[in-house]
Structure 1
């Protein structure tokens, strides 16, 4: 295990640690009003203890990637809660790391159309076997055309710094549709949108073998459940649902709801799917998925996973939590995109004060 330590000296330090734990009870536990706080994830763990005038932080990563993830998770959350870019001084392993260990410059192998609304690109990834290849999501970084790429770097505080101005990157979160460790290659599916602004979908149609991009990650687990499983999504969630289907045992109790424009946008997932058709309505404007969820009944062993547009996300999550009363450990409902917005949907702000 690799180890690193730092300290947090701030009047609101204990308050923000409690908010951190309350937002992520599935990962973080706390013993008392003054800690200690423990977080355990596959990448490693950290312990935060209350000292006389500060909080001491001890992180242990399974490797360099894991330790970097732990630092980044801690620093980003604390800065967001405090609404300050406070600096941290780390001691221990990997303190001089500049290039993120979870970054790779990747190269286009080929690009091809799958359906009217989906393009697939295959990338060569150096040292792919060192990454957490069983996880789902990566942040794809597209450099400006005809410029030498400038990639993000780790700061001394453990956070990330990003190129600005003419070197700014187009960054989007995508699902790894497939991972070929033998070839050292991955495939990513891109939903194609009608849009005038620069987009990753447009890039996927125009890219050529040999073009380069950046990749951060991966992270995020494939949805599984020992009991009943309900998978919900639109086109943007198709790759994640497909990965989940490939991991299901033959006797799994799984129902799948997917919204697409029409039959021509359906794909064979190797598992029965309830396809919901918009029939020409713009994506993100229907209540098809939320209505389908409301028409179903929960069970004690139900696990719900959903990747949808922001409006559907709010409706589905409200129903799952307030009507079905499913505990957090039995659902993961996220917004993959937001109608009218070109970028990723940010995680709900951590730093909003609790009412």
Structure 2
């Protein structure tokens, strides 16, 4: 590990855990298997998300009746997502939609406008305090919302690299970032395979820059090669986020916070 003091730290911050009942107000397909939805409602007053990698839980009812209680809402099928953007009475969320997805992606793809949905959290955040000397953002399509939020934090001129794996060129979406996004196409190969090969091919000389913040998130098998890269680059794990956002064959898997 490097003995040079880092210019930033990751701080844990808590938020009051609140549950909200809102409705689907808009849907925009950004790619054939990637959709952005807007949730709206007065319950969103006071909503906040301090960290770019935050997780909130969305609850999807079988019908269209508002929940009679928080307990009833929490009994609905649910999945975790990263808040993308929000205002006083609206919240934008993006979904990767595939044929074998659970209730969340199906709801995002096909629920009628006006459909009800529950929102829980976020309940805690990991916040970058200070200024990383460089940035390395790596993920699959499920990590695009977090990558969007991290990319918005990168100052112009600071060394950065953004690498995203999707199935094909048709699955690429626009990312507002100060550097060009490098897209990897896995084709018919297993999800994460292109990212794993990419990470395993990076050596010490490929470090993005000094004092990097590294974000690496995709299918669970990304964790081992991601942590191995941190070791090669001499990056302390406390200065990085490396996690499996989902796990092949486990629809109920939830990324660790």
Instruction: Identify the TM-score tier after normalising by the shorter chain.
Output: 0.7 to 0.9
Equivalents in 1 of 2:68, 2:247: separation in Å?
A: 28
In structure 2, relative to structure 1, the CA distance for the partners of 1:246 and 1:257 (3 Å cut) is: same
In structure 2, relative to structure 1, the CA distance for the partners of 1:223 and 1:121 (3 Å cut) is: farther
Report matched runs for 1:262-273 at 5 Å. Answer: 262-271=168-177, 272-273=180-181
Residue 32 of structure 2 corresponds to 116
Residue 261 (structure 1) shift? 0.8
Report matched runs for 1:295-310 at 5 Å. Answer: 295-296=201-202, 297=204, 298=207, 300-310=210-220
Structure of greater relative contact order (alpha carbons < 8 Å, 6+ residues apart): 2
Equivalents in 1 of 2:126, 2:108: separation in Å?
A: 25
Q: Which residues of structure 2 form unaligned runs of 5+?
A: 1-8
Equivalents in 1 of 2:220, 2:132: separation in Å?
A: 28
Residue 62 of structure 1 corresponds to none
Contact 1:110 1:121 survives alignment (8 Å): yes
Residue 121 (structure 1) shift? 1.0
In structure 2, relative to structure 1, the CA distance for the partners of 1:127 and 1:133 (3 Å cut) is: farther
Report matched runs for 1:147-166 at 5 Å. Answer: 149=67, 151-153=69-71
Larger CA Rg, structure 1 vs 2: 1
Is residue 281 from structure 1 mapped to residue 189 from structure 2 by the alignment? yes
Give the number of aligned pairs.
Answer: 239
**Per-residue CA distance 1:159-213 (angstroms, 9 max, x = gap):** xx975xxxx31111111222234xx211111111112x74211111121222111
In structure 2, relative to structure 1, the CA distance for the partners of 1:241 and 1:151 (3 Å cut) is: farther
Is residue 335 from structure 1 mapped to residue 248 from structure 2 by the alignment? no
Residue 334 (structure 1) shift? 1.0
State the TM-score, normalizing by the size of structure 2.
0.81
Q: Which residues of structure 1 form unaligned runs of 5+?
A: 1-25, 28-39, 44-65, 70-99, 154-160, 349-355
**Per-residue CA distance 1:294-324 (angstroms, 9 max, x = gap):** 3333455122111110011222123324x33
Equivalents in 2 of 1:123, 1:162: separation in Å?
A: 16
Equivalents in 1 of 2:219, 2:128: separation in Å?
A: 18
Is residue 240 from structure 1 mapped to residue 146 from structure 2 by the alignment? yes
Equivalents in 2 of 1:191, 1:260: separation in Å?
A: 10
Of the structure 1 ranges 198-207 and 223-232, higher mean CA displacement relative to structure 2 is found in 223-232
Contact 2:60 2:103 survives alignment (8 Å): no
Equivalents in 2 of 1:125, 1:138: separation in Å?
A: 17
